[in-house]
Structure 1
Amino acid sequence: MRQGTEIVSIVMPIIDRWRNEEGPLLPILNGILRELGYVPRQVLPIIAEELNLTRAEVYGVVSFYHDYRENPPGRHVLKVCRAEACQAMGGDAAAEKLQRLLGVEFGETASDRSVTLEPVYCLGLCACAPSAMLDGEVIGRLDEEKAAAIAVEVRA
């Protein structure tokens, strides 16, 4: 994991790039997410100070959007839709199988850092429910067989 001074040296150029733009907070957070894969809590006061915002304002934005995680994700990020349409089409069984096979609950990263399992509340694939997204690639008609294949893929 990266240390504090290394993180700050990565974050400051991102802040400098966007600070004078209108509405710079989201582009800064997106830049940090792109560079680090997460938004470390330690950078929130720095962002607040540099943008003349309160820490609460910055934290409020970070905590509102689910993609701004505060810990490094696993090598793979698996998002499983937990919305009603996916649940109605059998998504709960596939989700339970994934959790069992991966050995993690929603919101956790496997101890070997192979995968982070995240709940999402609509991927827009209701016609192909249940659905998931693995490393940005959508998966429709998720069933227990596809769940098993995903578990093998992320552990490889």
Structure 2
Amino acid sequence: MLGDRLGESAGKITGVRILPSEGEQVWIEVSFQGRGNLLGQEITDTGTYRQTIRPGGVLYGEGHVLMMSPGGDVVDWVGGGVGRPTGPGFKASYGVFGTARTSSEKLGRLGEVANVIEYEVEEDGSYRWTMWEWTGGGLTDTQAAAAR
């Protein structure tokens, strides 16, 4: 079940390269950088993900993102997801899941919850994402609050 909205960011793809094939799987590496907010803190997000195309045109990817605030707070995020092309160029829509590690007091909640992200990429390589806390299937609001 989705919980609180944790943040959002928008930016641009900064690089794309083809990685060595793994068997018949061709992997593409995508790097990006943007700005947004996370738990009320201004952040810069810089990341890289690799993706492949599965049968039926499904995009599958795995990523690693570093999020930093101007005050020096750092979040190390890892996750993955699936998506579909939605138009020409880079245009695609993804459902993403992940976890984060941080020693930041201001952003510490991120290390205590799983998260889900809607990640949208436009034809020109611009992107935006919105992140929510995932409270787990079947938890009541009281149970989810107690887990925090």
- TM-score by length of structure 2 reads 0.28
* Between structures 1 and 2, the one with greater helix share: 1
Question: Highest CA radius of gyration, 1 or 2?
Answer: 1
- TM-score by length of structure 1 reads 0.27
* Between structures 1 and 2, the one with greater strand share: 2
